[in-house]
Amino acid sequence: MRFADFLRTAVLLFGGASTALAVVAIAGATGDDDTMALIVAVSWWTVAAAAGLWLGRRLAPTPGIGRLLGGARSTNQLPDIEPGSIIFNRLWPLGVFTLASGAVAFLIPQVPAIAAGYAIAVALTWRRQSAAVQAIEDRDGVRFYFDKSSPFGAPKLLRTPGMRKVEPVPAGVEREGARP
């Protein structure tokens, strides 16, 4: 599975997890007639959304993703494309986090409300990471794929040859290093 596609999928899954957690938190707080919990939850979600928008505003990879891309092993062969197993192996903690937080919604609705805020923040922080990876791939003429690794260990990437994107230069703009 391509790394940029994984990042897009992760953003969607974190957004879905935050939505599901928010729904069960609202249902749990409404069942208890706890309006204060709802007010605090919506305030927390607003703060988490603002933080995620602020942290994810730049079109550059985060330092962790940059290190992951820099440590990619080069190969000329395409790896096996197994998106289902890669998503499961890499995002199983999100599933456990969502299920565990949502399971206590009708006993303690504050837990899924807090968890929903964290999922919102992560989804909004990562929203531009796939575009940043895509820009690096286009610039360098490579593609990054997931390598097989343990679901409990650090992810590993493969760097394969790809197509380099060459764009025309607009009229009146000089190229770097061009001679007059």
Structure tokens given for 35:
């309006």
pTM: 0.84
Give the pLDDT score at 154. 87
For range 32-56, the mean pLDDT = 93
For residue 11, being part of any structural domain is answered with yes
For residue 110, being part of any structural domain is answered with yes
For residue 175, being part of any structural domain is answered with no
Q: Is the pLDDT of residue 59 over 80?
A: yes
pLDDT band at 177 (very low <50, low <70, confident <90, very high): low
For residue 124, being part of any structural domain is answered with yes
CA contacts within 13 A on the Cβ side of 45: 21
For residue 167, being part of any structural domain is answered with no
* Domain coverage including residue 42: 3-161
In whole angstroms, what is the distance from residue 87 CA to residue 7 CA? 10
pLDDT band at 178 (very low <50, low <70, confident <90, very high): low
Give the pLDDT score at 78. 83
pLDDT band at 174 (very low <50, low <70, confident <90, very high): low
CA dist list (Å): 36 to 17, 39, 102, 180? 23, 5, 19, 69
Q: Is the pLDDT of residue 168 over 80?
A: no
What is the domain count for the chain? 1
Return the top range by mean pLDDT from 84-88, 121-125, 162-166: 121-125
Give the pLDDT score at 176. 60
For residue 171, being part of any structural domain is answered with no
For range 129-146, the mean pLDDT = 92
User: Considering the chain, what is the average pLDDT of its residues?
Assistant: 89
For residue 16, being part of any structural domain is answered with yes
Q: Is the dihedral of CA 38, 44, 47, 48 positive or negative?
A: negative
In whole angstroms, what is the distance from residue 122 CA to residue 99 CA? 17
For residue 64, being part of any structural domain is answered with yes
